[in-house]
Structure 1
Amino acid sequence: MANALFLLAPIFLLLTLGKVIKKTIVTDEEPWFSINKITYSVLFPTLHLTKHQPWILALPLMIMLIQS
């Protein structure tokens, strides 16, 4: 039971942190659109690549997506 709690705690902490940041620091919708776009186009594919390959192989994809 404690192991499940330790595994789920970071997820809920990140969700809570995002909610707090949205309500206090970034109240406009435009920055959130940019943050979501970066997350979807750069970070999410990198996560899929690094799941099965070393992280160094994901760097060219990250550079390519940032430049486009």
Structure 2
Amino acid sequence: MKIRMLVEMTGTRDGQPWPAKGREADLPTAAAAHLVASGIAEEVRAQPAEEAAADKPARKGARRAAVTDS
């Protein structure tokens, strides 16, 4: 289960430091569910590609470079 940390945690998990606040991690479902229930993390749900593209702001002034044959 993919989660996003809502707090800083000290210590390690499986020999690795916990992700920083705001960072994501993929954990076994039971461990992730415990962190979510405790308010330490939130579940990261996958967005369909169409929604993800709609969430990105349009880049103003972006143009494709013209390809010319020399």
Q: TM-score interval w.r.t. the shorter chain?
A: under 0.3
Give the TM-score of the pair, scaled to structure 1.
0.20
Greater relative contact order (CA < 8 Å, ≥ 6 in sequence)? 2
Give the TM-score of the pair, scaled to structure 2.
0.20
**Higher strand fraction (1 or 2):** 2
